[in-house]
Amino acid sequence: MMLFSVLFFIFLFTWYGESRSFVCLNNGKCVTVWKTYNDICYIVPGKYYGLIRPSKNFIQSTNNNNLTIYFTSEMPKAFIFKSEVSLKINNDDQKESVFYDYNQDITKFDKVLYKPGAKRINDVKADAQLIDIIIHDDIAWDKNGKML
């Protein structure tokens, strides 16, 4: 009984001490935004329910960062991101999904994501989607400005 009580307390402590949200687009593309105690946030493809930090395919950020994640049918397994700060990237399982830093090849990603002559962040091609995430405030928008 004592072990159960300790495990229950640990579970509650973890549950209330961390914030996890699933951000999904209409096309079924989702990411998990998991803010933890020590100012570390994990961005994970899909819906991540694990109790321990992910071991593969994630972005590690701070809980105060803002970032944009792009999806495009031209690169179906790609999660292309722009961030205000540098991030730690883990791409251990490239069969599932791969994170790409937009700033590493701006010319390539502009051609893949944006309409010719695009001026605004939401001037993406019809087959491209984006999630604009304000981690600290748990807010996210799609390319049309709709809150997710």
Domain spans in the chain, listed from the N-terminal domain onward? 17-141
pLDDT of 114 higher than 70 = yes
Q: What pLDDT was estimated at residue 50?
A: 84
E strand or H helix at 32: strand 30-35
- Asked if 140 and 133 count as a contact pair (C-beta separation under 8 A), the reply is yes
- Asked if 26 and 96 count as a contact pair (C-beta separation under 8 A), the reply is no
What's this model's pTM, rounded to 2 decimal places? 0.82
pLDDT of 92 higher than 80 = yes
- Asked if 44 and 20 count as a contact pair (C-beta separation under 8 A), the reply is no
CA pair distance 23, 31, nearest whole angstrom? 5
- Asked if 29 and 35 count as a contact pair (C-beta separation under 8 A), the reply is no
CA pair distance 137, 114, nearest whole angstrom? 27
